[in-house]
């Protein structure tokens, strides 16, 4: 879409926002949605793509970035350090070629896990419904698995389970129910469904308290590699309690202290401890894959709403992940249910949505990102932003200057139908506060720090831009120069129009933690108007 087309569509967006904002209730707001209207120019939600064999090359990554990827995820459950190092290098090379915004890199840890042993025959084994199966945690049985006995790599197995406990193997393909705990390293189970499985399959023990360290030796090695590679964030698998986050932070050490820790909540224990996890992490991922093994499937959507709401209330970013467009691993179009799932995740309040196999090893990775981009843009129209703002501020009694300025800026943006909010930031905190209050216009973030700009992609509604110029003149002159840069970029992207209003947030003294000023400005004339440098989509 050209710059002029963007600006024309944005005029329609502004009119639509003003019309819908008159609705007094969410019900009335939804009743005024017009499905024939063009989707908004902006996409407020970030897109995370898992990088794998079908997307690792520079040209493939360029296509993903052009389609809308904001964060590249490296899954350290697979691949060597050499492989991931090469992928990270390719992501940075592609980002330098294509995108005017920084691309963040996330390291997803393998985390504590339980796996089965090796089949004695070297071949897959079939288990029949109703048969008895001995389960051992004795390492001597690791390579002795067959149709009558199975090994699970978890020393506390017989302490964690009791009669009636369920065991899910190979993503739930094989379901077992414990009949009797025979001794400290052996139990008897009944097979609940026919299944054929091979060696070294994953295992879930729903409802059990798992006595495994949060950081394995492999995780430790991977985290130190991530520090060396200067990754922007860690997606920490199977976080069950706050101490797990502390353990990961300890491994990252002083050199990795700026790396964001996003806690993946994947089991009942993590959901039970969600308050302390939200408090001590930098954000949370609703990891629905293993979660669907650990709690009843019909409760996963309730857990999603719970976790998203907790994060929204506590100013923490939240990611919704797993099987969002799963059918696109093989098919060029998503199912209607998948489209609805992505849209509902956005309206629930998530900051990012994530693709896994769809972008890592699927046949249509670019198409998957394109569909996700389109769905997220359409979901914008289903959110009553002013009602959400009222809910977020109903119990706000903060005396923090930056937070009060952010709240005032978003309130002003609603009142004057601002085209955008422009914020200057050193640490990124003022931008995250603006994101929390959920304005219905884009937040253009100007920072001189590339790492800060990259990390801000995990927050809803932010469009981070690295300001490439050194400070010139007085502090006030430098502020004006960065404001001009932000307006120019907003015009280029079609977010801002000549004669439109913008809200400007900054600090009027050097350094971080000094945000204390909010101004309402009119964009005069058309001397800022430019054309996009490339045909890309903007978050």
Cα 418 to Cα 299: distance, rounded to the nearest angstrom: 40
**Of the options 3.20.20.60, 3.40.50.300, 3.40.630.30, 3.30.110.40, the CATH number for the domain spanning 43-111+214-380:** 3.20.20.60
How would you write 48-78 as a 3-class SS string?
EEECCCCCCCHHHHHHHHHHCCCEEEEECCC
**CA terminus-to-terminus distance, the chain:** 14
Mean pLDDT, residues 392-402: 86
Mean pLDDT, residues 259-287: 97
Mean pLDDT, residues 185-195: 97
Cα 410 to Cα 433: distance, rounded to the nearest angstrom: 10
Q: Which residues of 126-151 are buried (b: 16+ CB within 10 A; e: fewer)?
A: ebeeeeebebbbeeebbeebeeeebb
Give the per-residue pLDDT at 533: 34
Could you tell me which CATH number the domain at 386-523 has? 3.40.1380.20
Catalytic residue check, 429? no
Residue range 90-140, pLDDT digits in tens: 999 999 998 677 899 999 999 998 999 999 999 999 999 999 999 999 999
- Decide if pLDDT at 527 tops 70: no
Percentage of residues in the chain having pLDDT higher than 70: 92
Mean pLDDT, residues 331-351: 98
| Sign of the Cα pseudo-torsion (509, 513, 517, 519, in order) | positive
Residue range 477-510, pLDDT digits in tens: 999 999 999 999 999 888 888 888 999 999 877 6
Q: CB–CB of 170/202 below 8 Å?
A: yes
Cα 52 to Cα 61: distance, rounded to the nearest angstrom: 10
Q: Which two tokens stand for residue 118?
A: 């090796």
Q: CB–CB of 360/50 below 8 Å?
A: yes
Q: Comparing 79 with 529, which gets the higher pLDDT?
A: 79
Q: How far apart, in Å, are the Cα atoms of 477 and each of 316, 325, 521?
A: 34, 48, 17
Question: Which position among 16, 73, 454, 482 bears the catalytic label?
Answer: 73
Q: CB–CB of 228/178 below 8 Å?
A: no
| Sign of the Cα pseudo-torsion (83, 89, 94, 100, in order) | positive
Cα 323 to Cα 354: distance, rounded to the nearest angstrom: 9
Q: What stretch of H or E contains 196?
A: strand 195-197
Q: Any idea which residue has 């309690």 for tokens?
A: 241
Half-sphere CA count of 424, side-chain side, radius 13 A: 29
Mean pLDDT, residues 526-539: 40
Give the per-residue pLDDT at 253: 97
- Decide if pLDDT at 537 tops 80: no
Give the per-residue pLDDT at 534: 35
Give the per-residue pLDDT at 12: 54
Q: Which two tokens stand for residue 314?
A: 């506590």
Q: Comparing 397 with 130, which gets the higher pLDDT?
A: 130
Mean pLDDT, residues 2-20: 54
Q: Which two tokens stand for residue 357?
A: 């196999």
- The torsion angles phi and psi of 444, rounded to 5 degrees, stand at -90, 120
**In 76-192, at which residue ranges do the beta strands (DSSP E only) sit?**
104-108, 114-115, 125-127, 132-136, 149-151, 166-169, 174-183, 186-191
Catalytic residue check, 73? yes
- Decide if pLDDT at 528 tops 50: no
User: 114-204, which class in CATH?
Assistant: mainly beta
Catalytic residue check, 264? yes
Give the per-residue pLDDT at 389: 94
Q: Any idea which residue has 């290098």 for tokens?
A: 89
Domain with CATH 3.20.20.60 in the chain: 43-111+214-380
Confidence of residue 17 (pLDDT cuts 50, 70, 90): low
Q: Which two tokens stand for residue 310?
A: 């907790």
DSSP codes, 286-318: EEHHHHHHHS-GGGHHHHHHHHHHHHHHTT--E
Give the per-residue pLDDT at 525: 58
Mean pLDDT, residues 226-251: 98
Give me the helix-helix angle, 475-493 and 3-20, nearest 10°.
90
Q: Which residues of 168-190 are buried (b: 16+ CB within 10 A; e: fewer)?
A: bbbebebbbebeebeeeebbebe
Question: Which position among 116, 322, 432, 447 bears the catalytic label?
Answer: 322
Nearest CA to 114 out of 64, 151, 72 is that of 151
Question: Which position among 264, 388, 429, 460 bears the catalytic label?
Answer: 264
Q: Which residues fall within 8 angstroms of residue 400, CB to CB, at 6 or more apart?
A: none
- Decide if pLDDT at 40 tops 90: no
Q: Which two tokens stand for residue 468?
A: 């490439």
Give the per-residue pLDDT at 515: 78
Q: CB–CB of 77/110 below 8 Å?
A: yes
- Decide if pLDDT at 248 tops 60: yes
Predicted TM-score (pTM) of this structure: 0.90
- Decide if pLDDT at 532 tops 90: no
Give the per-residue pLDDT at 42: 80
Cα 239 to Cα 274: distance, rounded to the nearest angstrom: 10
* Mean of per-residue pLDDT scores for the chain: 91
What does the DSSP 8-state code read for residue 187? E
Catalytic residue check, 16? no
Q: Which two tokens stand for residue 260?
A: 């964001």
Confidence of residue 226 (pLDDT cuts 50, 70, 90): very high
DSSP codes, 421-483: EEEE-SSSHHHHHHHHT--SS-EEEEES-HHHHHHGGGSTTEEEEE--S---SSHHHHHHHHH
Percentage of residues in the chain having pLDDT higher than 90: 79
Cα 12 to Cα 19: distance, rounded to the nearest angstrom: 11
Give the per-residue pLDDT at 494: 83
Mean pLDDT, residues 365-383: 96
Domain with CATH 3.40.1380.20 in the chain: 386-523
Question: Which position among 115, 220, 242, 305 bears the catalytic label?
Answer: 115
């Amino acid at each position: 879409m050209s710059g002029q087309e963007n600006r024309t569509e944005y005029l329609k967006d502004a009119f639509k926002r003003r019309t819908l904002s008159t609705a007094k209730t969410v019900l009335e707001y939804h009743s005024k949605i017009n499905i024939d209207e063009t989707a908004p120019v902006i996409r407020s939600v970030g897109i995370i793509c898992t990088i794998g064999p079908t997307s690792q090359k520079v040209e493939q990554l360029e296509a993903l970035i052009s389609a809308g990827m904001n964060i590249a995820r490296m899954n350290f459950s697979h691949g060597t350090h050499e492989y991931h190092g090469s992928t990270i290098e390719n992501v940075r090379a592609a980002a330098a070629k294509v995108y005017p915004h920084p691309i963040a890199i996330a390291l997803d840890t393998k985390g504590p896990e339980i796996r089965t042993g090796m089949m004695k025959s070297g071949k897959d084994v079939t288990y029949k419904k109703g048969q008895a199966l001995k389960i051992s945690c004795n390492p001597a049985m690791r390579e002795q698995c067959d149709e009558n006995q199975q090994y699970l790599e978890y020393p506390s197995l017989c302490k964690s389970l009791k009669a009636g406990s369920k065991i899910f193997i190979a993503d739930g393909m094989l379901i077992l129910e414990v009949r009797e705990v025979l001794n400290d390293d052996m139990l008897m189970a009944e097979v609940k469904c026919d299944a054929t499985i091979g060696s070294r399959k994953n295992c879930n023990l729903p409802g059990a308290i798992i006595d495994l360290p949060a950081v394995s030796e492999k995780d430790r090695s991977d985290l130190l590699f991530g520090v060396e590679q200067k990754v922007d964030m860690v997606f920490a698998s199977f976080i069950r309690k706050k101490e797990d986050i502390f353990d990961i932070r300890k491994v990252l050490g002083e050199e990795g202290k700026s790396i964001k820790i996003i806690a993946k909540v994947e089991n009942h224990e993590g959901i039970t401890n969600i308050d302390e996890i939200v408090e001590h992490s930098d954000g949370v991922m609703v990891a629905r894959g293993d979660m669907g093994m650990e709690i009843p499937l019909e409760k996963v959507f309730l857990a999603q709403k719970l976790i998203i709401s907790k994060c929204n209330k506590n100013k923490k970013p939240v990611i919704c992940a797993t099987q969002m467009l799963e059918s696109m691993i093989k098919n060029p179009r998503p199912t209607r249910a998948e489209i609805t799932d992505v849209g509902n995740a956005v309206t629930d309040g998530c900051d990012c949505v994530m693709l896994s196999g769809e972008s890592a090893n699927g046949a249509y990775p670019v198409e998957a990102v394109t569909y996700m981009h389109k769905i997220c843009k359409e979901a914008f129209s289903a959110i009553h932003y002013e009602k959400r703002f009222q809910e977020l501020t109903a119990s706000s009694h903060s005396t923090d200057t930056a937070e009060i300025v952010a709240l005032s800026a978003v309130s002003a943006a609603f009142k004057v139908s601002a085209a955008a909010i422009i914020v200057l930031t050193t640490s990124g905190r003022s931008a995250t506060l603006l994101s929390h209050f959920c304005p219905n216009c884009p937040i253009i973030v100007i920072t001189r720090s590339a790492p800060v700009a990259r990390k801000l992609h995990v927050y809803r509604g932010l469009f981070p831009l690295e300001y490439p110029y050194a400070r010139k003149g007085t502090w006030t002159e430098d502020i004006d120069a960065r404001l001009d840069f932000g307006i120019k970029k907003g015009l280029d992207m079609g977010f801002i129009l000549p004669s439109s209003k913008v809200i400007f947030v900054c600090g009027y003294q050097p350094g971080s933690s000094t945000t204390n000023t909010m101004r309402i400005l009119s964009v005069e004339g058309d001397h800022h108007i430019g054309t996009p440098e490339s045909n890309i989509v903007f978050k």
